[in-house]
Structure 1
Amino acid sequence: MIKTGDPRSLGIPASEARLNFDTELQELGGGPRRRLLVVNDEPAFELSFYCGTCPLLFRRLETAREKLSLESMQKRLTGTLDDPDDGGVIDAFGTLLPKGEYLPLLLEVEPRLVTPGREGDYFSGEQVTTWGIDQFWGLPEYPHTPYYRTFETAVDSDAHLYEFVVPMVPPSWNERKRVEEYIALMDQGTVPTAVAISTLDVCQPAIDRGEDYFVHWGLTHFLLDGHHKLEAAATAGRPVRLLSLLTLGESLAGAEETARLPALRTQSRTARRIGR
């Protein structure tokens, strides 16, 4: 953690915003079906279900094909952001977001790229120890995208915070030349800055079916800017700054939980041991 900004109102009317949160309804007038992150009017990610007892989720959908970087901010973000309010970055990216309350968090992360189903995958690892595998599919949840793991720490003996950075499009879509340029900059000591819209989802199964029954806090950063920077940092083993705009209205967390987040993010990184 570098610095926390003050909660603030950001965004434009939802009908004009390029990024939105939405609810897919049942066809016959029933209740909510899927909680969605929408980019340019196309569903991009399915998110954790509203109940709070289903597993933590970010699942890339077939229509997730676009990034939301701003050309006007490229020069400023190539360097290090030292304060959330530096350079008008928050206001600039606020024009992409739906009107709401947001908490700015400026973090420094060392990302580790994870492929679903392989070593380090949260969904086939820690999540299974609590929820078990999906009873219908007989498999762990599958996010349909590589993603970055950046931090985890204990909330208390019965809860643990996991942090993820999720690219809007997979790293394989990145331009190799730009990734290499950022690696070269990082080798010279530059710490560039990425920007994300973030959610805090607090989830716990209603029934204890796993090896380790505890509350999962998922801090998920969906990249707006920084796809090449994150891949470069993961490849080179270097840090990158991350300006997170945490949505307070669209997270599955209460006011007390979001208020605890800045202090939790200053703790040492610690992995959870099963049964602790």
Structure 2
Amino acid sequence: MIRCDEPRGLGVPDAEARLRFEAEPQRSGGRTGRRLLVVDGEPAFELSYWCGTCPLLFRRLVTANQKLSLEDLREQLTGTLAEPGDGGVIDAFGALLPQGEYLPVLLRVEPRLVIPGREGDYFSGEQVDSSGIDQFWGLPEYPHTPYYRTFETAVDASAHLYEFVVPMVPPTWNDRERVEEYVELMDRGAVPTAVAVSTLDVCEPAIAFGDDQSQHWGLTHFLLDGHHKLEAAATAGRPVQLLSLLALGEGLASADDCARLPALRAQPRSARTQGPAAQGSSPADPR
């Protein structure tokens, strides 16, 4: 299931926004600093590097310790939204975000919890197949957080879409009783709603490497509300609804790429066919 509104202006001035996207000042030699997701004035996640030829990335930083749930909407979001704009949810969460254009997309996802370095980890699996390991560290990228994988599909013969849901704080911080409450609700057929601000990054290796030379489209949903719901859905093997507010202009993707997302997200799920995981190193990271 997917429902999509037209892009709309949302948000408040940067100084008032609890969440915003920032770029660090240029480093020596004129290189652009890191792209960051900032929460309550503190860097929370490092994002994919500007060049688009470095690997896809969301890396939790030590100052990421805040959720952005709205308790006034807790009861409403315990149920299913029929449309993205139902009940003023978009405007309520839009007040947490910086001014900009956002594409509201309402999805139904079946999350699978992934631990970095273990089975199903994108960073030590598909990304290594495409880009190799980091030349400096001699290791795959490491996101410093568990995360959820929810969907993937082919963009075309040379590109593949990967979807992730990233909690602002680890699932181990969740209240066990609330997780169990949502498990029980889902077992009775409820499909509660989570809310996220999302980015689309289109990345591809600068130099041919390994068996998979595809472009990687990373659709990354950073949870604003729904940490307990996502863990419960992953635990119970149940679906959850996700209202994504896609931040247009904040990812490494063109307007045309972003416009294709609803149609791509409506396709059947399909994994990319890959050869054996590549061994070796990727080009030096310009960061």
Q: TM range, normalised to the smaller chain?
A: over 0.9
Q: Which runs of 5+ in 2 are unaligned?
A: 276-287
Query: For residue 235 of structure 1, what is the amino acid of its counterpart?
Result: T
Query: Secondary structure of the residue that 1:262 maps to in structure 2?
Result: helix
Aligned pairs for 1:224-239 (under 5 A) are 224-239=224-239
CA distance in structure 1 between the partners assigned to 2:109 and 2:27 by the alignment: 42
Query: Secondary structure of the residue that 1:235 maps to in structure 2?
Result: helix
Q: Does 1:123 align with 2:123?
A: yes
Structure-2 residue corresponding to 1:89: 89
Assess if the C-alpha contact under 8 Å between 2:13 and 2:98 holds in 1.
yes
Assess if the C-alpha contact under 8 Å between 2:2 and 2:262 holds in 1.
no
Q: Does 1:133 align with 2:133?
A: yes
CA distance in structure 1 between the partners assigned to 2:249 and 2:258 by the alignment: 11
Assess if the C-alpha contact under 8 Å between 2:115 and 2:145 holds in 1.
yes
**Cα RMSD for the two superposed structures:** 1.0
Assess if the C-alpha contact under 8 Å between 2:45 and 2:59 holds in 1.
yes
CA distance in structure 1 between the partners assigned to 2:177 and 2:215 by the alignment: 41
Aligned pairs for 1:1-276 (under 5 A) are 1-26=1-26, 30-274=30-274
Task: Tell me the alpha carbon deviations over residues 37-69 of structure 1, each in whole angstroms, 9 at most, x when there is no partner.
Answer: 000000000000111000000000000000000
Query: For residue 72 of structure 1, what is the amino acid of its counterpart?
Result: D
Residue 29 of structure 1, CA deviation: 8.3
Query: Secondary structure of the residue that 2:14 maps to in structure 1?
Result: coil
Query: For residue 40 of structure 1, what is the amino acid of its counterpart?
Result: D
Identity of aligned residues (%): 75
- TM score, norm. by length of structure 2: 0.94
- TM score, norm. by length of structure 1: 0.98
Residue 26 of structure 1, CA deviation: 3.5
CA distance in structure 2 between the partners assigned to 1:27 and 1:140 by the alignment: 24
Moved over 2 A (4+): 26-31
Assess if the C-alpha contact under 8 Å between 2:102 and 2:246 holds in 1.
yes
CA distance in structure 1 between the partners assigned to 2:205 and 2:188 by the alignment: 46
Query: Secondary structure of the residue that 1:181 maps to in structure 2?
Result: helix
